[in-house]
Structure 1
Amino acid sequence: MVPHLSPAAADALRTALLRSRYTTDGVRELLGPSAHAALGRGELEPAFRASRDGGELGVLVRLLLLGSTEPDAAVAAALAPLAPADAAAAGLLAPSGQGWTAALDLRPYGDEDGDWWVLSDLDARRQERDHVTGVGAASLTLAAATVRRPVGSLLDLGTGCGVQALHAGRHAAAVSATDVAPRALAMARATFALNDLDVELLDGPWLEPVRGRRFDQIVSNPPFVPGPARVDYVYRDSGQDGDAALAALLRALPDYLEPGGVAQLLGSWLHVRGEDWPDRVRSWLPAGVDAWIVQREVSDPALHVGTWQRDAGLDLASPEARRQAGAWLDWMERERVEAVGFGFLTVRRTDGEPTVVFEDLLGDVADPLGPETAGWLDRVDWLRAHARDDALLAAPLTVAPSVVLETYAEPGAEGWTEVGAAVARLDGPRWRHEVDGPAAALLAGCQGALALGELVDLLAFAHDRPADELVAATLPAVREFVRHGVLVPA
């Protein structure tokens, strides 16, 4: 069954959830830190115990989060003014003996500005072809990396259960969302109704439903799992061979962006024997775009296949899973795939000289990348405006407040001997750059009082080096410092 919340049912359910405090904070407070953390690991018993005396909120936690069957009277009280029978008619509950059980996953989700509720499929449907995932790692990753600036129009391409569109409603005047899967569209429609969010919801593959339109911002968590041209699961498989779907999407995006419009998406690309992965992805980029491609993970073929089989809830030892894995690995061998990369792709339509940067950012990043992406776009604009050497040399710069100089030494017969230094940001992606003595001295002088050229002249005099030589050696590094936010315009 798919959800179909009428306006009246959505209003009644929202009233019940708010009254019982079925929100992120409410659930966290009821369960306490230990049981809440255990629930995040899939360990249910601590949450059952913590919710015993939780009143109506405890009933909803057990019913909607823990998969419990709850008595009719308790469910009726917790969902009032929405009757359990009406909730069942809307596709949310199913009768079970003398009580009710959840037919869909309905859970609170929020950010620093408030709460929403998200509807998706239960884990019991994970192996169904049209399974609709909820707030998973990919959704959270994209949400954290998205630029949150006021825009007129935003498109959530492949909305699924609607997570990115919920966030978009905070900063976009008009939000449109598309999906090719009828079940996903129904789930998103119910999610938007429950959250009283006005979203234009469109049916169709990829960009087809918005052909001829342009947007200020596009976000997408598309089916990005490279593999043979098949669709085992609609949410992750494109039906195209390898990374061809991502390549086609990148080529098409600029035609759907307003001038200066930004598209942000998750994606995976193949590391093919004999190719550099940046060259492969660069070949997909059309003219007239800035692009920042950040590789976050690299998986070998076996890890890639195993990860996505586990994601589908398969028993990896079963004959079916082994046959699927074998076919997938055979395909990778034929295509000379050595690894699979995963990361963020930010593309901006520009009339200026495009800036295209590929970077590896492997490992954990504590801070969300959305502010960093916004800063990267701003810094690229500034560098474009100061593309001439004389313009850059005339600019006063300052070291960002979060930047520190690290020095390191090695032991010797006479104690520690300094052998190197690096400047590093302590926020965002923690960019780090090795520097020599002159570079460290130049950065120390960047305090916003003098133009860069004046500092270079002083440095040349102090080190008895020709100024032109120092300029040629310094400006490429300065541009990289600015791009990484180590140096900022004063």
Structure 2
Amino acid sequence: MTRTPLTVLAPELTALFDAAGLTAAGVAGHLGPDFTEAMHRGEPAAVRYVTSDGSTLSRLIRVFILRDAVPATELADLVGASLTTRLLDSGAAVSDLHGTVRMALDIRPHVIVGVNRWVFSDADASMTPHVPGPDHVLGVGAASLSLLQSTPVTPVGSALDLGTGSGVQALGQFGLAESITATDVHPRALDLAEATFAGADARVELLQGPWFEPVAGRTFDRIVANPPFVVGLPEVGHVYRDSGLNLDGASELVVSQAPGYLAPGGTAHLLAAWVHTHDQSWAQRVASWLPDRGVAAWVIERDVADPAHYVGTWLRDESIDPRSPEAAARTEAWLAHFAEHGVIGIGFGFVAIRNIGDEPSDILAESMPQTFSDPLGPEVEEYFARTAWLRDRSAQELADATFLTRPGLARENIAVADKDAGVGFAPAALRLTRTDGPRWSHDVDEHLAAVVSGLHPQGLSLAETVGLYAMANGLDEDELVQAAVPAVVDLIRHGLVLPAELAELVE
């Protein structure tokens, strides 16, 4: 039994879109790069201008992406009389007394994990003036796209999408997971998610309820969650972003409870936000949400906003004019709440967690401010493989192991104008930098750079490589080995250097 008539019409509608070229690539090719960017910026007049040729794809773009009002006869001409009737009956489209219809929902094409998909969600304010209501169901936003990019795309047995919304993250697991479960506290979200899944011919178990309650007692090989992580007052203004928990309570709840729902070796991939205060570092705060045993966790802070910027951003998100009296009242209450709790900044990023059994937890929380374009999902999986290798070895075993430098690793010699000499350049820094993935860069000295350059997976061990370098340069071998081991561990954590046993990760 389906939850909504949308589910019944979704396969026919998405098949029609696919045949007509109303895909992400089809729309971009039809509009061209400049007008595609205008569409992404929310400039409908420019898109309307370039779709005035009367072609079928142009008309579909106007009706379903711009959500222009058209005579019912035109919609029937585009999608057929039967589908038009069902769109109206389901509430996906609405009509007025003059026989004019307009799409009330957003059914937009996207590429999800390399596959053309269509996501059913509530209409946003990108193309028409719109103030999202409390029950608004979000479509594909920047946050959901970033989580898709940071989630591995390797096959797993079971996957859970906690707080599925319109179904974006669960859709990303289709074809990867043998079984998918999606939960949400919001019935309307489950209605739209069901239509999204039907349009993709994706079989997903849908369960209603808050947080992890619908899956109590169960475990999963992969958990993904884009929870309502907005940091603010303990109230719910919009169900898609407000949890009703104080400050970063939603992120704390999901991060702290996710390990209990992971199967052995299972992983969780979460979006989260956390507060910065004078009393505690953000890294300590998030690490305190995780257990002392049983997990490897990588917490990545991608951005930090000051309280005023943060509040302004989320007021604009709900289409509130920051100059309005309503915005003034909301801003004052929000900022006062932050001040009361000592909040000086709000961080945002990813939390990746792996079940490692009964071992002591291995938690790294760090900032990743650098710009990069490669998906983060493969890096997350490789990170867990690298840290698992490190956990199993003593300092002596590390010294006796063989390693390789990552393919594409760059050595950067930085020099700046020599102020003292008044001419030429003086050395300023020596760096090893990855040219793939998150582009990690480490400052090193000449000794470590030379040792790294001498590593070979079929060659000498780390200790032997250091020994040769020490002998050639008149240095104390034991002291240099003791200094090299922790330095190489840091390079392994960020993938600049890899154990020979993990060479297949970069082949």
Normalising by structure 1, report the TM-score.
0.96
Q: Work out which of the residue numbers 241, 255, 259 in structure 1 matches 2:246.
A: 241
Matched, 1:416 2:422: no
Matched, 1:407 2:413: yes
Matched, 1:467 2:494: no
Matched, 1:489 2:499: yes
CA contact (8 A) 1:156 1:165 kept: yes
Distance 1:92 1:424 in 2: 50
Distance apart, 1:7 and its partner CA: 5.7
Distance apart, 1:317 and its partner CA: 1.5
Distance 1:80 1:481 in 2: 60
Partner of 2:164: 159
Distance 1:180 1:125 in 2: 24
Moved more, 135-144 or 80-89: 80-89
| AA in 2 matched with 1:344 | F
| AA in 1 matched with 2:260 | D
Distance 2:123 2:35 in 1: 21
Distance apart, 1:263 and its partner CA: 0.5
Distance apart, 1:82 and its partner CA: 4.2
Pick closer, same or farther for the CA change 1:363–1:473 going to 2, 3 Å: closer
- Deviations 1:182-224, CA, capped at 9 Å, x for gaps: 1111111111112211010110000000000000010000010
CA contact (8 A) 2:22 2:60 kept: yes
Counterparts in 2 of 1:45-444, with a 5 A limit?
45-80=45-80, 82-96=82-96, 97-111=98-112, 113-123=114-124, 126-286=131-291, 287-351=293-357, 352-385=359-392, 387-412=393-418, 413=421, 415-444=424-453
CA contact (8 A) 1:16 1:80 kept: no
Secondary structure in 2 matching 1:359: strand
Pick closer, same or farther for the CA change 1:6–1:48 going to 2, 3 Å: closer
Distance 1:428 1:135 in 2: 24
CA contact (8 A) 2:197 2:204 kept: yes
Distance 1:472 1:15 in 2: 63
Moved more, 26-35 or 406-415: 406-415
Partner of 1:17: 17
Secondary structure in 1 matching 2:275: strand
Distance 2:311 2:45 in 1: 31
Secondary structure in 2 matching 1:364: coil
Pick closer, same or farther for the CA change 1:154–1:3 going to 2, 3 Å: closer
Secondary structure in 2 matching 1:294: strand
Secondary structure in 1 matching 2:221: strand
Distance 2:83 2:67 in 1: 19
CA contact (8 A) 2:6 2:92 kept: no
Runs of 4+ residues over 4 Å off in structure 1: none
| AA in 2 matched with 1:379 | R
Moved more, 429-438 or 9-18: 9-18
Secondary structure in 1 matching 2:460: strand
CA contact (8 A) 1:260 1:348 kept: yes
Moved more, 314-323 or 117-126: 117-126
Secondary structure in 2 matching 1:227: coil
Pick closer, same or farther for the CA change 1:46–1:477 going to 2, 3 Å: same
Distance apart, 1:407 and its partner CA: 0.4
Distance 1:233 1:111 in 2: 25
Pick closer, same or farther for the CA change 1:130–1:6 going to 2, 3 Å: closer
| AA in 2 matched with 1:73 | T
Distance 2:389 2:444 in 1: 23
- Deviations 1:298-333, CA, capped at 9 Å, x for gaps: 111101111111111111111122111111111111
Pick closer, same or farther for the CA change 1:309–1:6 going to 2, 3 Å: closer
- Number of aligned residues: 488
Pick closer, same or farther for the CA change 1:176–1:3 going to 2, 3 Å: closer
CA contact (8 A) 1:20 1:78 kept: no
Moved more, 298-307 or 419-428: 419-428
State the identity as a percent: 41
Distance 1:91 1:194 in 2: 17
CA contact (8 A) 1:57 1:78 kept: no
Distance apart, 1:255 and its partner CA: 1.2
Partner of 1:36: 36
Distance apart, 1:461 and its partner CA: 1.0
Moved more, 420-429 or 75-84: 75-84
Distance 1:26 1:127 in 2: 29
Distance apart, 1:442 and its partner CA: 0.3
Distance 1:382 1:114 in 2: 34
Secondary structure in 2 matching 1:234: coil
CA contact (8 A) 1:3 1:91 kept: no
Distance apart, 1:359 and its partner CA: 0.9
CA contact (8 A) 2:10 2:196 kept: no
- Deviations 1:24-63, CA, capped at 9 Å, x for gaps: 1111121111111111111112211222225222221101
| AA in 2 matched with 1:378 | A
- Aligned Cα root-mean-square deviation (Å): 1.7
Moved more, 237-246 or 91-100: 91-100
